Amino acid sequence: DKGSHKHFMAKEIHEQPTVMAYALSHYTVTDANGVKPAPLALDFRDYDRVVIVACGTAYLAGMVAKYWFEQIARMPVEIDVASEFRYREPPVSPRTLAVFVSQSGETADTLAALRYMKGKAARIVGIVNVSESSIARESDLVLPIHAGVEIGVASTKAFTCQLTVLAVLAVMAARQTGQIDAAREGALMSALETVPGAMADLLATESRLGAICWELSKAQDVLFLGRGAMYPLALEGALKLKEISYIHAEGYASGELKHGPIALIDETVPVIVMAPTDPLFDKTVSNMHEVMARGGRILLLSDETGLAHAGQDVWERIRLPRVDPFVAPILYAVPAQLLAYHTAVTKGTDVDQPRNLAKSVTVE
């Protein structure tokens, strides 16, 4: 049942404040000292490294997690798409924690990669939405994301709930390995708890996207740029746009722009920059100026401070609530989804059943 929404995808986008809070409630405990990760049968001191394997949007959630684990917990993380990982036959050191992320829990390549890791990795963790799935059954530890049934082929709420679980794991790892103290742990967990409210505030401004998406719907090509943990979000924005609106879109790390893609820039290629106020913001602004100097049109997604610093020459702006940079990738998933959704609706494509795509890819 779509409720009052035109599509399942719209319903699932709008469910995110609720389901993210629900997911978080399963992975947190609150005591007199504040909010902490809930105890899990998982001790990161037992592992030297983490290998995350997944496909599509779930892979991009894993890629965000790589930034989190490396920055906060100082743990090395390898991330790969399952179809490459399984045939690459990588050597696996014994103190490896293998993490498989899958909404459906049935993706053939992800399952095959999991089977490859059996007997090689010290432990296999499945982060899934469907708890009765093959990946759940074959994992040593199952961490459900609690997103509820996802029907729209384009993954939305599963992505933000995957990120939520991975963020809690990164904080847990950092605390267990002594990289952060209790105060920092509390601050990071509190930052996570602000996201559902920020998502709701952002969703309340959705109607402002109409004019922007009407312009995007006329584009042949769109570029998405982001730095650090926002780079996977740029990839996710491009993936969502291409899969439901059929507009060619590419995500790039902002710093890679001058190594090739800048050749594409002219006034017909909108460039969507995802840049919350964070320590890398000024670098992204200079990349933006490189685009504008070549006649490119910038759509900037940032908070009030970032928008004010970016200057007057950007083509369009989307203002997001200001959050701790740690959790910005979760919040910025929502405008990425909304841009794809409204552009697709403007074009009249089949949003919930895009051509050539299946919800669960059970063949390789």
Interatomic CA distance for residues 25 and 8, integer angstroms: 24
How many chain residues are in contact with ligand F6R, going by CB under 6 A?
Answer: 15
Q: How far apart are CA 240 and CA 248, in angstroms?
A: 11
For residues 57 and 160, which CB has a smaller minimum distance to ligand F6R in the complex?
A: 57
User: In 129-284, at which residue ranges do the beta strands (DSSP E only) sit?
Assistant: 141-144, 221-226, 248-253, 270-274
How far is 214 from 352, CA to CA, in rounded Å?
19
Name the segment binding ligand F6R (CB under 6 A); options: 39-47, 51-59, 206-214, 312-320.
Answer: 51-59
Q: Examine residue 165 and tell whether it contacts ligand F6R (CB under 6 A).
A: no
**Contacts (CB under 6 A) with ligand F6R, residues 100-119:** 102-104, 107, 110
- Considering only the stretches 54-62, 165-173, 225-233, 301-309, report the one whose residues sit in contact with ligand F6R under the rule CB under 6 A: 54-62
Q: Does 57 bind ligand F6R (CB under 6 A)?
A: yes
Which residues are marked as active site? 359
Under the binding rule (CB under 6 A), the answer on residue 83 touching ligand F6R is: no
**Cβ within 8 Å of residue 30, ≥6 positions away:** 36
In the complex with ligand F6R, the residue whose CB is nearer, 73 or 101, is 101
Nearest approach, Cβ of residue 277 and ligand F6R (Å): 28
Look up residue 232 and give its two tokens.
């996977």
Compare residues 155 and 277 and give the one whose CB is closer to ligand F6R: 155
The amino acid that residue 360 corresponds to is S
- DSSP-derived 3-state class of residue 333: helix
* Per-residue binder mask for ligand F6R (CB under 6 A), 217-256, x = binder: ----------------------x---x-------------
Which of 139, 155, 164, 245 is the binder for ligand F6R (CB under 6 A)?
Answer: 155
* Of the candidates 141, 5, 132, 113, the residue with the CA atom closest to the CA atom of residue 54: 113
Residue in the shown chain whose Cβ atom is closest to ligand F6R: 56
Q: Which is nearer to ligand F6R, 56 or 335 (CB)?
A: 56
- In the bound state with ligand F6R, the residue whose beta carbon lies nearer, of 213 and 340, is 340
CA–CA separation, 73 and 326 (whole Å): 13
| 10 CB-near residues (< 8 Å, 6+ apart) | 2, 341, 351
**CA torsion angle for 282, 286, 288, 294 (degrees, to 10)?**
170
28 and 189 in contact (C-beta within 8 Å)?
yes
Piece of 98-106, 266-274, 287-295, 307-315 that binds ligand F6R (CB under 6 A): 98-106
Nearer to ligand F6R, 64 or 239 (CB): 239
User: Alpha-carbon distance 262 to 344, whole Å?
Assistant: 26
Three-point CA angle 202, 104, 231, nearest 5°: 45
Smallest distance from the beta carbon of 173 to ligand F6R, in angstroms? 22
Q: What is the closest distance, in whole angstroms, from the C-beta atom of residue 106 to ligand F6R in the complex? A: 7
13 binds ligand F6R (CB under 6 A): no
Pairing of the two strands 270-274 and 297-302: parallel
For ligand F6R, the closer of residues 251 and 306 by Cβ is 251
Considering only residues 343-362, where is the footprint of ligand F6R by CB under 6 A? 360-361
The answer to whether residue 58 forms part of the interface with ligand F6R (CB under 6 A) is yes
Q: Which of 117, 154, 180, 344 binds ligand F6R (CB under 6 A)?
A: 154
Q: With left for phi above 0 and alpha for psi between -120 and 50, is residue 356 left, alpha or beta? A: left
Q: What residue ranges bind ligand F6R (CB under 6 A)?
A: 55-58, 102-104, 107, 110, 154-155, 239, 243, 360-361
